[in-house]
Structure 1
Amino acid sequence: MSQFDQAFQEQLAAHYLRDDVFVQSVGSLVLPDYFENETLAALVAIQKIYLERYGSCCTLKTYVQVMQRLIAAKKVKVADMLEAKRLLGVVHKDPLSDRQFVIDTIAEFARKQALTNATMGMADALDTDDDTKIAKALAAVEEAKQVGAADTAAAMNFKTSRIERQQKRAQRAAGGYTNGGITTGIPELDNQLTPHRGWGRKELNILMAPPKAGKTAAKITFGLNAARAGHNVFYASCEVSEEIIGERADACVSGVPLKELVKRQAEVDKAVEQWEQNPGLGEFIVQAFPIRTLKVSELTRILKRYEAQGITFDLIIVDYLGIMRPETVYTDKRFGLAEIGQDLRAMGTVFNAAVLTGYQTNRTGTQKAQRNVSDGTDAADDYEVVRTADVLMTINQSVDERAAGEVVLYFSEMRNAESGLRMRFNQNLACARFITGFVGFD
């Protein structure tokens, strides 16, 4: 017998129709669609309308009057009045002595029913073969997973959790606690990306730079470093092919310049083979998409297929945000780009992964990056595009710095770390190595 059978649903309806404390506590989790009995669902729908207007439960006599008026106004349909009468008798006989049990169980019930409904919607959408309907159905499934999350999540008691915070700080001081962060492979950079000591899970990290300033080299470098540390990495390239990413990754791993890969093939092969022997090496999977065709919903479906095969990703790299396609076509391009940023961050939450992407600076930002540093206000198109980011770092490099093989990362907008830092690194872009060593703070 199901935990949430008809008897439980009648018990739940009894509290929803009669128990003000229950309604005020968790009433928002009760929806008519969650009830399998059509008549019981209609009775809950009537109560929902009443509660939205009056904010509290009513007597059986008043409820019957409200039901009659709503049926007459054709706002609610009750197909079986005899069943409605029977069910009203059942729910009004309930002693309501099990309130806490129902409150403790409602979140799980609501999530299960929401997922059941969303799954049925997905099946219907797949039958239509309509990408828009499938995308909406997929979004409904992800939304259903979050139903009741706030009610089941553990709250923090500031006073009693003090010891736990002390222990975590001690672990950080010893370099043994990362809060689940994904390493950049550069200890000095990890140390500044607090509190995660790397890219934060469920966070959106954006590298912003002028064109041809090394955004792709940065993402390849950070992706390979994460894989070497044992993390699974998915790299979605919207700009260049899998083959080009593979060639740049070979150069990065081997330290052989891109233009010499063919001439020094044996050296490259040996270096890559040695890299593959690293114990606990994570996956580094690359898939390319035509420019301005990849939607976040499509990327989510791809990642779900890997998840079904038992492969979950810790770091999702998208190269890059500005050339993805929004779910909705907007007259103003800025709205679509802002939507992509928000959807990427939400995707990170769904997969408990860090999301790393890039974005272009505008003309002013390009000039500033060559003279000093650019910041979030220099985002191409509009600042709203990058406002969702938890980490926004800009890549800055003068002509002389590029010739000397140096680059400056500026911590522009940081949700959980210190903003305004300028970190200088050595690099070797000829080998697609975005960072080869730490120089110091500017």
Structure 2
Amino acid sequence: MTTFDQAFQEQLAAHYFRDDVFVSAVGSLVKPEYFDSETLQALVAVQGGYLAKYNACCTLGTFVQVLQRELAAKRVKIADMTEVQRLLAVIHRHPLKDRQFVIDTIAEFARHQALLNATMTMADALDTHDPTKIDNALKVVDEAKSVGAVDHVEAMDFTTTRADRIARRRQVAQGSATGGGITTGMPELDKQLTPWNGWGRKELSILMAPPKGGKTAGMIQFAIAAAAAGHNVFYASCEVSEEIIGNRSDANISGVPMKDLVAREREVEAALAQWEATPGMGRLDVQAFPIRTLKVSELTRVLKKKEAAGISYDMIVVDYLGIMRPEMNYGDNKRFGLAEIGQDLRALGTVFNAAVLTAYQTNREGAKKAQRNVTDGTDAAEDYEAVRTADVLITINASPDDRQNGEVVLYFSEMRNAESGLRMRFSQDLGCMRFLISFVGYD
């Protein structure tokens, strides 16, 4: 890692004070608190105020006038004016021939200094033994980790990558590539989840249904299918325990109804042993959280801890959005909190490069519609904003006759990258938690 010593910090300050191109490109990453010298911190703060007002660097003479006004107004305090003279002389003598080096390095510098400051904040919080201060310090650490992150992401050259996109599509057409999606375990459903041929990474997919409509059964089956295909899956249950999720998963894999798991123990064990022996099997980790307590920030910390232990996940399943807790208390405006959770879950997929799958309930009118036709996003409980962020919103629908025949209709309500309005009919057996068994046809 680059050594961010006093010489580098003075070099950086020279560009921040005199180089308009530098300021335009990465000036937002320069913060007074990132500098070790208190005098340099004060000078950078004054320069930052000037840039915010005039959007351009100034001459040495102008800066001295601005500094004198700030000192006179007591908005800035500087103890060592001799050091001010030395620093301004160094900054304005610098040849500014190494702009690109400083631009390439500043993101690393900013993150390093932000984390250093966050570490000291955390140490102070730990000394107080105050849970609130410690929680706030953890948030500061998380924010510090993201400083300058976007500067490490290269933009795609649309023209030069055309051949790569064409080759990728041809591979998908020939069956030699999956499209990069996380399989649902149902080829017919994967095919409609374009362009990924499955759940898309960095996307939020939502299953919406009335109470007892099969949401959890669907999420369990899709998690199992992803793990069997070699993907690592994290399943966060906000409603029931790990043991219940485990039993439901056993029923799905074995095809043995939940009520018969004990009586048909040998059959269940044989099916599980065979499933676990699947070549290239991924992980399926399940963790339960008390209802209405899990925040996306807390889930992020859990996943970061796993990441630090060398475990990364391709798919994150949250059961489910409607019973999570927003980051702040919105009082009577519950819909704002639900909208925030949806947005944060989508961002979670981007942070971990994973597909995020969750569920949501329909309102009363939606529950009625699910039995006679199909529901859509406007039937979301509380407010449409809760599901508006979704890249994929699939509603689960079944009339009394469908239930009798063991069938279900999936309706592609709102699709960001796929065809909306599609109705797909599948056979199912919720008694043994098999949300989808086989594709019946298009309605």
Query: Which range, TM-score by smaller chain?
Result: over 0.9
Query: Is the CA contact (8 Å cut-off) linking 1:142 and 1:350 kept in structure 2?
Result: no
- Give the number of aligned pairs: 442
Task: Describe the SS at the equivalent of 2:287.
Answer: strand
Task: Describe the SS at the equivalent of 2:285.
Answer: strand
- Give 2:355's aligned amino acid: A
Query: Is the CA contact (8 Å cut-off) linking 1:233 and 1:313 kept in structure 2?
Result: yes
Partner of 1:341: 342
Task: Describe the SS at the equivalent of 2:191.
Answer: helix
Partner of 1:226: 226
**d(CA) in 1 for partners of 2:123 and 2:183?**
39
Query: Is the CA contact (8 Å cut-off) linking 2:172 and 2:179 kept in structure 1?
Result: no
Partner of 2:215: 215
Shift of 1:306: 1.8
Per mean C-alpha deviation after superposition, the further-off stretch among 15-24 and 215-224 is: 15-24
Task: Describe the SS at the equivalent of 2:410.
Answer: strand
Partner of 1:172: 172
Shift of 1:128: 4.4
Equivalences for residues 180-219 of structure 1 within 5 A: 180-219=180-219
Partner of 2:408: 407
- Give 2:184's aligned amino acid: T
- Give 1:75's aligned amino acid: R
Shift of 1:179: 4.7
Query: Is the CA contact (8 Å cut-off) linking 2:321 and 2:360 kept in structure 1?
Result: yes
1:274-311 Cα deviation digits (max 9, x unpaired)? 11111221111112222111122222222222222221
Shift of 1:56: 1.0
Where does the alignment leave 5 or more consecutive residues of structure 1 unmatched? Answer: none
Shift of 1:245: 0.9
Per mean C-alpha deviation after superposition, the further-off stretch among 122-131 and 50-59 is: 122-131
Partner of 1:439: 440
1:297-346 Cα deviation digits (max 9, x unpaired)? 22222222222222112111111111111121111111111111122222
Equivalences for residues 122-201 of structure 1 within 5 A: 122-201=122-201
Equivalences for residues 366-381 of structure 1 within 5 A: 366-381=367-382
Task: Describe the SS at the equivalent of 2:435.
Answer: strand
**d(CA) in 2 for partners of 1:4 and 1:103?**
14
**d(CA) in 2 for partners of 1:420 and 1:189?**
14
Shift of 1:218: 0.3
**d(CA) in 2 for partners of 1:353 and 1:119?**
28
Aligned pair 1:430/2:425, yes or no?
no
**d(CA) in 2 for partners of 1:128 and 1:392?**
45
Task: Describe the SS at the equivalent of 1:113.
Answer: helix
Task: Describe the SS at the equivalent of 1:282.
Answer: coil
Partner of 2:84: 84
**d(CA) in 2 for partners of 1:401 and 1:130?**
55
1:31-85 Cα deviation digits (max 9, x unpaired)? 1122122211211111000111111111111111111111222222223222121
Task: Describe the SS at the equivalent of 1:86.
Answer: helix
**d(CA) in 2 for partners of 1:107 and 1:22?**
13
Shift of 1:129: 4.7
Shift of 1:110: 2.0
Partner of 1:5: 5
**d(CA) in 2 for partners of 1:45 and 1:204?**
40
1:395-414 Cα deviation digits (max 9, x unpaired)? 11111111111111111111
- Give 1:365's aligned amino acid: G
In structure 2, do the counterparts of structure 1 residues 34 and 250 end up closer, same or farther at CA, with 3 Å as the change threshold?
same
- Give 2:213's aligned amino acid: A
**d(CA) in 1 for partners of 2:131 and 2:344?**
17
Partner of 2:358: 357
1:131-164 Cα deviation digits (max 9, x unpaired)? 5444444443333333333333222222222111
**d(CA) in 2 for partners of 1:209 and 1:421?**
16
Shift of 1:117: 2.7
**d(CA) in 1 for partners of 2:76 and 2:170?**
60
Task: Describe the SS at the equivalent of 1:185.
Answer: coil
**d(CA) in 1 for partners of 2:78 and 2:107?**
27
Shift of 1:188: 1.2
In structure 2, do the counterparts of structure 1 residues 300 and 155 end up closer, same or farther at CA, with 3 Å as the change threshold?
closer
Per mean C-alpha deviation after superposition, the further-off stretch among 158-167 and 87-96 is: 158-167
Per mean C-alpha deviation after superposition, the further-off stretch among 278-287 and 360-369 is: 278-287
State the Cα RMSD in Å.
Answer: 1.7
In structure 2, do the counterparts of structure 1 residues 384 and 290 end up closer, same or farther at CA, with 3 Å as the change threshold?
same
Task: Describe the SS at the equivalent of 1:392.
Answer: strand
1:240-296 Cα deviation digits (max 9, x unpaired)? 111111111111000011111111111111111111111221111112222111122
Where does the alignment leave 5 or more consecutive residues of structure 2 unmatched? Answer: none
Query: Is the CA contact (8 Å cut-off) linking 1:199 and 1:205 kept in structure 2?
Result: yes
**d(CA) in 2 for partners of 1:336 and 1:79?**
47
Task: Describe the SS at the equivalent of 2:235.
Answer: strand
**d(CA) in 2 for partners of 1:163 and 1:294?**
44
Shift of 1:175: 2.5
Partner of 1:285: 285
- Give 2:110's aligned amino acid: A
In structure 2, do the counterparts of structure 1 residues 135 and 375 end up closer, same or farther at CA, with 3 Å as the change threshold?
farther
- Give 2:289's aligned amino acid: F
Aligned pair 1:311/2:303, yes or no?
no
Partner of 1:391: 392
Aligned pair 1:44/2:64, yes or no?
no
Q: TM-score, normalised by structure 1?
A: 0.95
The percentage of aligned residue pairs carrying the same residue is: 71
Query: Is the CA contact (8 Å cut-off) linking 1:138 and 1:297 kept in structure 2?
Result: no
In structure 2, do the counterparts of structure 1 residues 335 and 177 end up closer, same or farther at CA, with 3 Å as the change threshold?
same
Equivalences for residues 318-337 of structure 1 within 5 A: 318-331=318-331, 332-337=333-338
In structure 2, do the counterparts of structure 1 residues 49 and 212 end up closer, same or farther at CA, with 3 Å as the change threshold?
same
- Give 2:214's aligned amino acid: G
Per mean C-alpha deviation after superposition, the further-off stretch among 288-297 and 246-255 is: 288-297
- Give 2:60's aligned amino acid: L
